Amino acid sequence: MELSRREAAAQSKDFVKEITPQAVDYSQWYIDVITKTEMMDYAPVKGCMAIRPFGFAIWEKIQELLGARIKATGHENAYFPLFIPQGLLQKEAEHVEGFAPEVAWVTKGGDEVLAEPLVVRPTSEAIICDFYSRWIQSWRDLPVLINQWCNVVRWEKATRPFLRTSEFLWQEGHTCHRTEAEAEEETLKMLEVYREFLETEMAIPVITGRKSEREKFAGALRTYTVEALMSDGRALQAGTSHNLGQHFAKVFDITFLDQDDQLKYVWQTSWGVSTRLIGALIMVHGDDRGLKLPPRLAPIQAVIVPILSKKAREQVLAAARDLAERLKEVVRLKLDDREEYSPGWKYNEWEMKGVPVRIELGPRDLEKNQVVLVRRDSGAREAVPAAELPARLPVLLEEIQQALFQQALQFREANTRSGSDYRHFVETMEQKRGFYLTAWCGKEECELKAKEDTKATIRCIPFGVESGYEHCIVCGEKAKETVYFARAY
């Protein structure tokens, strides 16, 4: 007998009991989602993880879509060594200080104590600068536009899968230019690449701006950031782009003979995003049923679930397989024809994994020559003639993509507050969280006091946004900057 869709819905309510509701324990909800959906598994070493095929497929889509954008701006991919000699890292004292607590050291190779300890890269400025000092001789060698996809290690004390791990995957661009203006243009260009990628492909609205001096990258002239708001009201730094100035060039002697026959230092940039984008994807779009994946990043965009009965079993399976064959060039598709699980169980599994569209096909649908499409984002259902499905499905996926972005944008707007009263700011950060737009005098002591009182930091000094307030929210003196505060991951 065909399982009714009402019975399937009842089964689905039982199934999601495995996921802790966000309102009960947000941190446990996050862990439940990434483990139940088989995105990762914990490693024997604290802070490390195995990224399982489903989670890695999302990272591969990020690499594919972001990588194409990086190459389109003229950058080439390369690879640099994992190990950095201690002497190279110590060349740049400010850089070492910024990473010292997080550095992992290699002191032995086999049974032999190394003459010079090695650092497992926390970031690659030091090792890449050493190569650039040899590769660059003349203005004709510039600009150098290189990106690498790799892993890095930072010995974190507090870890959370994808968001902050001891080992993680990322891309890091490292470029060299003739002038400061060219380096600044590059820095802002790549920040815009990140903004457009996050909003277009990941359906995550972001705020772009400059970091405060205290929050900027160690050794940078200026750091720019894209900041997103998670569904628990905490911010996440989704990507950064740094104008490194000539700091590293002077330390590592990266010089070039310019057209005026003068020997000059290059101007550098670096920029990167990491697997924490997967954490952002989960926390921006996920709900108590699990993941909600934007169609453009979803490894599986649609799943066909045949609803079988003893009488029409073979007919339904044959129709489902024919449908899968016709759709495989249209969308990334999965046919779930496992017979050991009920349709209701499958509904739950694919909803939990965030597949944007479920395609239901049963005996009654065969009689009407139709399928039923169910949206993961809203639960809305629609019956579509089978012949129209190849045309309708891509349109529906784009509707879902835009709906997820709008939902996230509305959430951010509803959870962005502003003010000039310090007590209101403190109460907001304690009770409501979200972004807080206000004015700041620019003094580090006010920045530190706000952090001490609220655990909130200046996320960025935004582009093209004015708070409308004339005095610093902390000290009351004349303001110099408009800023967004938030508690953050």
Q: Is the pLDDT of residue 457 over 90?
A: yes
Question: pLDDT grade, residue 15 (50/70/90)?
Answer: low
159-192: per-residue pLDDT in tens? 999 999 999 999 999 999 999 999 999 999 999 9
Question: pLDDT grade, residue 13 (50/70/90)?
Answer: very low
Spatial separation of the C-alpha atoms in residues 67 and 47, rounded to whole Å: 27
Question: pLDDT grade, residue 16 (50/70/90)?
Answer: low
Is the alpha carbon torsion for 289, 293, 295, 301 positive or negative? negative
Spatial separation of the C-alpha atoms in residues 225 and 191, rounded to whole Å: 7
Integer CA distances (angstroms), 464 to 207, 209, 460, 467, 483, in order = 11, 9, 12, 10, 11
What are the backbone angles phi and psi of residue 62, rounded to the nearest 5°? Answer: -60, -45
Integer CA distances (angstroms), 366 to 7, 26, 225, 361, 371, in order = 20, 42, 52, 7, 8
Question: pLDDT grade, residue 404 (50/70/90)?
Answer: very high
Fold of 416-486: Translation Initiation Factor IF3 (3.30.110)
Give DSSP secondary structure letters for 3-50. Answer: PPHHHHHHHHHHHGGGS--TTT-HHHHHHHHHHHTTSEEE-SSTT-EE
Tokens standing for residue 272: 């990167």
Contact 224, 188 (CB under 8 A): yes
Q: Which of these CATH numbers, 1.25.40.10, 3.90.1150.10, 3.40.50.300, 3.30.930.10, describes 26-285? A: 3.30.930.10
Q: Give me the pLDDT at residue 7, please.
A: 45
37-83: per-residue pLDDT in tens? 999 999 999 999 999 999 999 999 999 999 999 999 999 999 999 99
Q: Compute the CA torsion angle 63, 64, 66, 67 (nearest 10 deg).
A: 80
Average pLDDT in the chain: 95
Q: How far apart are the first and last CA of the chain?
A: 50
Please state the rounded mean pLDDT for residues 123-148. Answer: 97
Question: pLDDT grade, residue 17 (50/70/90)?
Answer: low
Integer CA distances (angstroms), 157 to 101, 238, 243, 266, 278, in order = 9, 20, 28, 36, 21
Task: List the domain boundaries for the chain.
Answer: 5-16+297-397, 26-285, 416-486
Number of C-beta neighbours around residue 248 at 10 A = 27
Q: Is the pLDDT of residue 4 over 80?
A: no
Q: Give me the pLDDT at residue 151, please.
A: 98
461-477: per-residue pLDDT in tens? 999 999 999 999 999 99
Question: pLDDT grade, residue 6 (50/70/90)?
Answer: very low
Please state the rounded mean pLDDT for residues 197-225. Answer: 97
Q: Give me the pLDDT at residue 98, please.
A: 73
Residue 225 pairs in a beta bridge with 209, 240
139-151: per-residue pLDDT in tens? 999 999 999 999 9
Q: Is the pLDDT of residue 18 over 90?
A: no
Name the DSSP class of 55: H
Contact 169, 49 (CB under 8 A): no
Please give the CATH architecture assigned to the domain spanning 5-16+297-397: 3-Layer(aba) Sandwich (3.40)
Please state the rounded mean pLDDT for residues 367-389. Answer: 97
